[in-house]
Homo-oligomer: A and B are copies of this chain.
Amino acid sequence: MRVQVPLEKAYRLINHGPATLVTSKADGRANVMAAAWVSPLDSALVSAVISNDSLTREFIERSGEFALSLPTVGLVDAVYRSGSLSGRDGDKFAAAGLATFPASKVAAPLIEGCVGWLECRLRDESRAREKYDLLIADVVAAWADATVYRDGQWRFEGQPDKRTLHHVSKGVFLASGEVVEASTD
Contacts and interface: CB of A to CB of B under 8 A. Distances in A.
Given A174-B16, A175-B177, A38 B36 contact: no
Q: Assign chain A's interface to a size class.
A: 35 or more
A183 interface: yes
Contact of A39 (B37, B80, B153, B154): B37
A6 interface: no
Number of copies: 2
B182 A169 contact: no
A175 B99 CA distance: 30
A20 B54 CA distance: 30
Contacts of A57: none
Given A132-B136, A168-B179, A172-B182, 15 more contacts: A15-B36, A15-B169, A16-B166, A16-B173, A37-B40, A41-B132, A41-B133, A80-B184, A127-B127, A127-B128, A153-B169, A171-B181, A174-B177, A174-B178, A175-B177
Interface of A: 12, 15-18, 36-42, 45, 47, 49, 73, 76-77, 79-81, 84, 125, 127-128, 132-134, 136, 152-154, 156, 163, 165-184
20 contacts: A15-B167, A16-B166, A39-B47, A39-B49, A41-B133, A41-B134, A73-B180, A76-B182, A80-B182, A84-B184, A154-B168, A156-B174, A166-B166, A173-B179, A174-B176, A174-B177, A174-B180, A175-B178, A176-B177, A177-B178
